[in-house]
Amino acid sequence: MKEIQGGVTAAKGFEAAGVAAEIKYKGRTDMAIVYSQTPCVAAGTFTTNVAKAAPVTWDQELVKESDFVQAIIVNSGIANACTGQEGYGYCKETAEAASLALSIPVKSVLLGSTGVIGKQLPMDRVKKGVEKLAEAKSDSIEAGTAAAKAIMTTDTCEKELAVQIEIGGKTVTIGGMAKGSGMIHPNMCTMLSFITTDAVITKSALQKALSEDVNDTYNMISVDGDTSTNDTVLVLANGMAENAEIQEGTEEYILFKKALHEVNVYLAKKIAGDGEGATALFEVRVVGAKTKEDAVKLSKSVACSNLTKTAIAGHDANWGRIICAMGYSGVQFDPEKVDLFFESSAGKIQIAENGVALDFSEEKATEILSQSAVTATADVKMGSETATAWGCDLTHGYIEINADYRS
């Protein structure tokens, strides 16, 4: 497996674009397209929030029922959530506009929206945006990056990655882009992620690979504990690599799934590290757990702890907050057996052994915690299972961004 330049346009036959439609923002792009030159099999995972946005409902139906898909239209600025039947009708109108502009079936157009909840889309601008996207799309790396920028809201940077693997003598490429900064919490978050691949793969194998991998990637990140109405991860596979068809349970499937994981975990970590107001990615590793479920619960509990996140923001080795967060996770463990470590590019330090503080250097701990990516590792010495969760520090910037988000 090797990492290559690009994102959603890295795989054969995929095109993209980002344009300015002024849906909410002025002076920046806010609509994107991902388009395949040939029909694709599609897989998706979606928010667990009961209050699902209209495009989530639309996509769920298409992924389940449509024989193929060929395009994704995404807007930022307005989420098209809590908009009733009118909002769902706007999904159909957007797909119809894309169908006309791209000469593809209405039911082959997937959708994504992100932004303010409760506002209706300005459909005149959306339709004009679709026309501009159809004209602007291309298969260049720059076009993929433009799409990644267009879907941003409070994100500070675009998020994209592409990798290549060899399957049966054929080069298979997987590329992706994502957005997410606030309203991020496990079980899908305020995040949109779009993955493209030129692999030949069955629809069932593609869905299985995605569904399983989401649990170890996007569902292991948290910024603020809020689960969004719009979370969507979509994967399109157009088969242009011409490899032998990948089916569940084969060596080729395992190889494909590893490559998909590489893209997903990168995008998930970029989302966590780009949390609203954040200055550091906060990684929490739990090792020595009795079960995988225990390891997941423990790591998530620490990553979601506001007290721990503020300590990371202050570069303070306040390790008791980690033990506290583990203690209310619902997992039974012995606090007097836990070893704790902090690690970053500045080094690694053990701060507690068997639940008791060591005589560590506060200066060194502060140096370690002052880096842009920090890892806390907890060894609970109960077994051999591990899990990793990702979050970010919690700063005054989070309040400043969200106090007047609608303006």
CA–CA gap between residue 300 and residue 221 (Å, rounded) = 8
Longest C-alpha distance within the chain, in Å? 69
- Is 190 an active-site residue? yes
* 162 close to 263: Cβ distance less than 8 angstroms: yes
DSSP secondary structure of 173-227: EEEEEEE-SSS--SSS-S-EEEEEE---B-HHHHHHHHHHHHTTTGGGB-SSSPP
Q: How far is CA 133 from the centre of its chain?
A: 23
CB neighbour list of residue 314: distance below 8 Å, 6 or more residues apart: none
Taking residue 163's Cβ as centre, other Cβ atoms within 10 Å add up to 23
Which among 78, 155, 158 is positioned nearest to 117, based on CA atoms? 78
How far apart (Å, rounded) are the C-alpha atoms in residues 217 and 263? 10
φ, ψ dihedrals at 232, nearest 5°: -150, 130
**Edge-to-edge, what's the strand order for the sheet holding 347-353?**
356-357, 347-353, 339-344, 373-379, 281-289, 385-392
User: How many CB atoms are closer than 10 A to CB 307?
Assistant: 13
Nearest residue to 237 via CA among 16, 33, 42:
42
Measure the CA angle with vertex 253, ends 74 and 162; round to 5°. 40
Q: Give the Cα separation of 208 and 248 in Å (integer).
A: 8
Q: Which among 271, 276, 178 has a CA at the least distance from the CA of 233?
A: 178
Among 9, 83, 114, 190, which one carries the catalytic annotation? 190
> How would you class 6 by CB atoms within 10 Å of its CB: exposed for 0-12, middle for 13-18, buried for 19 or more?
buried
What are the φ and ψ backbone dihedral angles of 206, each rounded to 5 degrees?
Answer: -65, -45
- d(CA 10, CA 342) in angstroms, rounded, equals 37
The residues carrying an active-site annotation are 190
